[in-house]
Homo-oligomer: A and B are copies of this chain.
Amino acid sequence: MSVTLADVAARAGVSAATVSRVLNGNYPVAGATRNRVLRAVEELEYVVNGPASALAAATSDLVGVLVNDIADPFFGIMAGAVQSEIGHATRKLAIVCNTGGSPERELTYLTLLQRQRAAAVVLTGGAVEDPAHGEALAARLRRLDAAGSQVVLCGRPPLGAATAGPHPLTVTFDNRGGARRLTDHLLTLGHRRLGYLAGPAARTTTRHRLEGHRTAMAAAGLADDAERLTAHGAYDRASGYDGALELLRRDPDLTAILAANDTVALGVCAALRDRGLRIPQDVSVTGFDDLPFAVDAMPALTTVRLPLHAAGARAGRLALGREDAPPGGVATFRGDLMVRDSTAPPRR
């Protein structure tokens, strides 16, 4: 069918073993021989048969990258960083798999990757908090580990301490701290009636951000308000729109809304505008993540910048074993407050 090692060997007048050694460069081959082989490879347009190679060598060149939503820049940026880190280094192929946020598809993809004997797997994005899923996921990761794949979590918290087996390397964000800083910023501006529009309740990311918010609120003696003025939704624009209206219903005198992330904040802004409220004069709004569009929103969003690219690159290097594991196996990136035009002191 297609050109094989043997064909190249015949053409170069050497054995298949020699061709393999030239191609993999892990064994001394005389210069003249090597050139002859390389020329034959060129002439025949030989391309290694990956599966055969993976079978014989018992490991493949594939690195899996799982994302919740490939169309969301949050994941796109991280995945792109992982991939570019991997592409830079080796002839390895980073493959991005879109789970659509579904736990089942996450498991399916992990099995598929194990089946491909992936060299490494990077899971990005917030984990689902369902305990049953957590256990199933941990089991799958353990199997991957046992099968020799390096597992790295990126942008999600480490596996719970209760989880059995080896803990995967983790690159995570300080979501609590970010949310706390954002809330403090608003409190410092003088806001007291703050609404919090959280993401899906079952996500760890959501919980951590919410915890950060509550910590700050509690420190200001506003714990009850924080409780009352929290609504949950999805990480999308429509949820932001509906959620803002809901919060306004609960308290028409709200002077600020903290959105779960930038995308949600966009929806919040749209809802406020439709209600005839000005941002930030009437209501301040904050996002989270600092995705590229945050600065272009009108007004430009005050938000927390997550170093998505740096985190993805780090995860990529860890996956390849090109960087030592951080102490405790967990690297945490903090998010910096970006104060822009969507927040201001509340009007009297």
A residues engaging B (CB < 8 A)?
1-2, 45, 47-55, 58, 60-62, 69-73, 76-77, 79-80, 83-84, 87, 91, 93-98, 100, 105, 108-109, 111-117, 143, 146-148, 237, 266-267, 269-270, 292-293, 296-298
Contacts and interface: CB of A to CB of B under 8 A. Distances in A.
A96 B116 contact: no
A125 B69 CA distance: 19
16 contacts: A47-B143, A49-B55, A50-B54, A50-B60, A50-B117, A51-B60, A61-B112, A70-B79, A70-B96, A71-B77, A72-B73, A93-B116, A96-B98, A266-B293, A269-B296, A297-B298
A83 B91 CA distance: 23
Given A52-B55, A55-B55, A97 B95 contact: yes
Contacts of A94: 97-98
A49 B117 contact: yes
A70 B60 contact: no
Contacts of A114: 47
Contact of A116 (B51, B98, B146, B147): B51
A69 B70 CA distance: 11
Given A51-B55, A51-B117, A237-B292, A76 B71 contact: yes
A147 B2 contact: yes
A96 B93 contact: no
A143 to B, nearest CB: 7
Contact of A98 (B55, B80, B297): B80
Contacts of A69: 80
Given A47-B114, A49-B55, A93-B112, A98 B84 contact: yes
A146 B45 CA distance: 12
Contacts of A296: 237, 266-267, 269-270, 297
| Shortest beta-carbon contacts, A-B, top 7 | A298-B298, A95-B95, A51-B54, A71-B76, A96-B96, A51-B51, A50-B116
A289 to B, nearest CB: 13
Contacts of A267: 296
A274 to B, nearest CB: 12
A98 B71 contact: no
A107 B342 CA distance: 44
A60 B95 CA distance: 15
Given A1-B148, A91-B112, 19 more contacts: A2-B146, A2-B147, A50-B51, A50-B115, A50-B116, A55-B55, A61-B116, A70-B70, A70-B76, A70-B79, A71-B73, A72-B73, A79-B98, A80-B98, A83-B98, A93-B109, A94-B98, A237-B296, A269-B296
Contacts of A83: 70, 97-98
